[in-house]
A and B are shown apart, each in its own frame.
Chain A
Amino acid sequence: MGNIRSLEKVTAWDRSTAIHLLSRTLFGFTNEDVNFALSMSIDDYVDNYLLSDLHEPQSPGFWVNDTDSYNNSVRSRELTYWWYNLMLTQGHSFREKMVLFWHNHFVSELSVVKLPQRMYHQNRLFRQNAFGNFKELTKQITVDPAMLIYLDNTKNRKEDPNENYARELMELFTLGIGNYTENDIVEAARALTGWQVEGLQSYFNPDRFDDSQKTFMNETGNFNHEDIIEIIFKKPEVASYICRKLYKEFVYFEPDENVVDQLASIFRDNNYELKPVLSTLLKSTLLQSEEIIGAKIKSPIEFIISLTKQLKLTSPNYEYMRDIANDIGQTLFSPPNVAGWEGDKTWINTNTLPARHIFSDRIINGDRSPLKILEYARNYESSEDAEKFIDEIADIFFVYKLSDGRKEYLMELLLDGAAVYDWSTYNENAEARLISFFKSLCRLSEYQLT
Chain B
Amino acid sequence: MDLRNFIRQLGMLAGAGAMSMTIGNTPLRAFGKSLYKIKEVNGKVLVLIQMSGGNDGLNTVIPYEDSLYYNARPNIAISKSEAINLNSLTGLHPSMQPFKEFYDEGKLAIVQNVGYPSNNRSHFRSTDIWLSASDSDEYLNDGWIGRYLGNTVANDSNYNLDHPMAISLGSTQDTLLSCTCQSGSMGISFEDPNQFFQLINGSSADTDPPPNTVAGHQLKFIKDIAARSIRFAEIIKEKADTINNQVNYPNTDLADQLSIIAQLVAGGLETPVYLASIGGFDTHSNQLGRHANLLNNVAQSLGAFQRDLEALGVADRVVTMTFSEFGRTVEQNGSGGTDHGAAAPLFVLGSSVNGGIWGDNPDLSDLDGSGDNKFKFDFRQIYSTMLRDHLGAGPDDMENILFKNFETLPLVSVKHISSGGPRAFELNQNYPNPFNPSTRITYTLRLPQVISLKIFDVNGRLVKTLFNGYKEAGTFHEFFGGLKYPSGVYYCQLISGSYRKTIKMSLLK
Q: Which residues of A contact B (CB under 8 A)?
A: 152, 155-157, 159-164, 167, 171, 177, 182, 252, 290-297, 327-329, 336-339, 345-346, 348-355, 357-358, 361, 400, 403, 405-406, 409, 443-446, 448-449
Chain B residues whose CB sits within 8 angstroms of the CB of A338 once the complex forms: 123
Residues of B within 8 A of A161 (CB): 333-334
Q: Is B203 an interface residue (CB 8 A)?
A: yes
Let me know if B335 and A160 touch, CB within 8 A: yes
Contact B203 A443 (CB under 8 A): yes
A337 partner residues in chain B, CB cutoff 8 A: 52, 123, 279
Kindly state the separation between the CA atoms of A443 and B37 in the bound complex, as whole angstroms.
33
List, in ascending order, chain B residues with CB within 8 A of A346's CB: 172-173
List 7 additional contacts besides A349-B172, A357-B203, A443-B203; criterion CB under 8 Å.
A155-B334, A161-B333, A162-B285, A162-B339, A327-B171, A349-B225, A445-B222
A291/B333 contact (C-beta < 8 A), A152-B284, A177-B122, A353-B229 known: no
In the A-B complex, the 3 residue pairs with the closest CB atoms: A160-B334, A354-B199, A155-B335
10 A-B pairs within 8 Å (CB atoms) are namely A152-B284, A152-B337, A156-B335, A162-B333, A162-B334, A177-B124, A327-B171, A336-B172, A348-B222, A445-B206
- Considering only CB atoms, which chain B residue lies closest to A254 in the complex? B214
Residues in chain A near residue B218, CB distance under 8 A: 294-297, 449
The CA-CA distance from A339 to B191 in the complex, in Å, is 23
Inter-subunit contact A351/B222 (CB<8 Å): no
Task: Tell me if B67 counts as interface (CB < 8 A to partner A).
Answer: no
Q: Which residues B5-63 have CB closer than 8 A to chain A?
A: 52
Q: Which residues of A contact B52 (CB under 8 A)?
A: 337
Tell me which of A167, A182, A351, A444 contacts B190 (CB under 8 A).
Answer: A351
Cβ-defined contact, A171 with B219, below 8 A = no
Q: How far is the CB of B165 from chain A (nearest CB, A)?
A: 13
Known contacts A350-B188, A354-B196: does B284 contact A164 (CB below 8 Å)? yes
Assess the B221–A345 pair: CB atoms within 8 A: yes
Complex formed: what's the CA distance from A441 to B371 in Å? 58
Cα A295 to Cα B122 with chains together (Å):
30
Contact B339 A164 (CB under 8 A): yes
CA distance A264 to B78 in the complex (A): 50
Cα-based distance from A346 to B199 in the complex (angstroms) = 19
Asked if B219 contacts A358 (CB within 8 A), the reply is: no
Q: Which residues of A contact B428 (CB under 8 A)?
A: none
Q: Chain A residues with Cβ under 8 A from B339's Cβ? A: 162-164
* B329-348 residues at the A interface, CB under 8 angstroms: 333-335, 337, 339-340
Interface contact tally, CB-CB below 8 A: 131
Q: Which residues of B contact A297 (CB under 8 A)?
A: 218, 222
Chain B, 195-232, contact with A by CB distance < 8 Å: what is the 0/1 string?
01001101100101000011100110111011011001
A361 cross-chain contacts in B, Cβ below 8 A: 202
B337 neighbours in A (Cβ, 8 Å): 152, 162
Residues 156-195 of B, flagged 1 when their CB comes within 8 A of A and 0 if not, give: 0000000000000001110000000000010011110000
Interfacial residues, chain B to chain A (CB-CB below 8 A): 52, 121-125, 171-173, 185, 188-191, 196, 199-200, 202-203, 206, 208, 213-215, 218-219, 221-223, 225-226, 228-229, 232-233, 279, 284-285, 333-335, 337, 339-340, 370
B226 to chain A, nearest CB (A): 6
Expressed in whole angstroms, the minimum distance between the Cβ of A368 and any Cβ of chain B is 15
Contact, CB under 8 Å: A358 / B334: no
In Å, the complex CA distance between A449 and B228 comes to 19
Q: A351 to B233, alpha carbons, bound, how many Å?
A: 10
Complex contacts, B190 vs chain A, CB 8 Å: 350-351
A316: shortest Cβ distance to chain B, in Å? 22
- Taking CB atoms, residues of chain B closer than 8 Å to A160 are 333-335
Measured CB to CB, the nearest residue on chain A to B214 is: A295
Please judge, given known A-B contacts A155-B285, A162-B284, A345-B221, whether A444 and B215 are in contact too, CB under 8 Å: no
Q: Are the CB atoms of B199 and A358 closer together than 8 Å?
A: yes
Contact A449 B222 (CB under 8 A): yes
Q: How far is the CB of A360 from chain B (nearest CB, A)?
A: 12
**The one of B200, B222, B284 that contacts A448, using a Cβ cutoff of 8 Å:** B222
**A163 to B172 alpha-carbon distance, docked (Å):** 29
Most buried by A among B188, B203, B226: B226
Q: Assuming the A-B contacts A252-B214, A449-B215, are A177 and B208 also in contact, with contact meaning beta carbons closer than 8 angstroms in the complex?
A: no
- Which chain B residue has the least Cβ–Cβ distance from A406? B208
* Chain B positions within 8 Å of A403 at CB level: 208
Do A292 and B121 have beta carbons less than 8 Å apart? no
CB < 8 Å neighbour of B188 from A156, A295, A349, A405: A349
Measured in the bound complex, the distance between the Cα atoms of B232 and A177 in whole Å is: 39
Q: Are B208 and A152 in contact (CB under 8 A)?
A: no
Q: Are B229 and A354 in contact (CB under 8 A)?
A: yes
A152 adjacent to B225 (CB under 8 Å): no
Q: Are B225 and A355 in contact (CB under 8 A)?
A: no
- Of all chain B residues, the one with the shortest Cβ separation from A338 is B123
Alpha-carbon separation in the docked complex, A405 to B206 (Å):
11
Residue of A nearest to B211 (CB): A403
How distant is the Cα of A328 from the Cα of B199 in the complex, in angstroms? 12
Nearest Cβ in chain A — how far from B399, in angstroms? 28
Shortest distance between the CB of B167 and any CB in chain A (Å): 9
The reply to whether A162 and B335 contact each other, CB–CB distance below 8 Å, is yes
How distant is B369 from chain A, measured CB to nearest CB, in Å?
9
Which residues on the B side are within 8 Å of A155 (C-beta)?
284-285, 334-335
- Least CB distance from A75 to B in Å reads 24
Considering the chains assembled together, what is the distance between the CA atoms of A50 and B82 in angstroms? 61
Neighbouring B residues of A296 by C-beta, 8 Å: 218
A297 to B52, CA, bound (A): 26
For B284, list chain A residues within 8 Å (CB). 152, 155, 162, 164
State in angstroms the CA–CA spacing of A293 and B211 once bound together: 13
Shortest CB distance A214–B (Å): 17
Q: Residues of B contacting A292 with CB < 8 Å?
A: 214-215
A152 neighbours in B (Cβ, 8 Å): 284-285, 335, 337
Cβ of A295: which chain B residues have Cβ within 8 Å of it?
A: 213-215, 218
On whether the beta carbons of A405 and B228 are closer than 8 Å, the reply is no
Chain B neighbourhood of A350, CB < 8 A: 173, 188-190, 196, 225, 228-229, 232
Q: Which residue of A lies closest to B231 (CB)?
A: A350
CA A364 to CA B89, docked complex, whole Å: 65
The CA-CA distance from A354 to B188 in the complex, in Å, is 12
Contact A353 B334 (CB under 8 A): no
Contact A354 B173 (CB under 8 A): no
Measured between alpha carbons, how far is A163 from B370 in the docked complex, in Å?
A: 13
A400 partner, pick from B122, B219, B370, beta carbons under 8 A: B219
**What is the CA–CA distance of A80 and B340 in the complex, to the nearest angstrom?**
33
A357-B213 contact, Cβ under 8 Å, with A164-B339, A350-B190, A351-B190: no
**Complex interface: chain A residues within 8 A of B215 (CB):** 291-295, 400, 449
User: Chain B's nearest CB lies how many Å from the CB of A289?
Assistant: 10
CA separation between A182 and B122, bound complex, in Å? 11
A437 and B5 CA atoms in complex are apart in Å by 47
CA distance A156 to B190 in the complex (A): 39
Q: Given the complex, which residues of B lie within 8 Å of A348, measured CB to CB?
A: 221-222, 225
Contact A405–B335 (Cβ < 8 Å): no
Residue contact B208 to A405, C-beta cutoff 8 Å:
yes
Closest Cβ neighbor of A165 among chain B residues: B284
Q: Which residue of A lies closest to B191 (CB)?
A: A351
Measured between beta carbons, the chain A residues less than 8 angstroms from B188 are 349-351
Residues of A within 8 A of B171 (CB): 327-329, 349, 351-352
By beta carbon, the residue of chain B nearest A293 is B215
Find chain A residues with CB under 8 A from B206 CB: 409, 444-445
Known: A350-B232, A351-B196. A157 touches B334 (CB 8 A): yes
CB neighbours of A339 from chain B (8 A)? 123-124
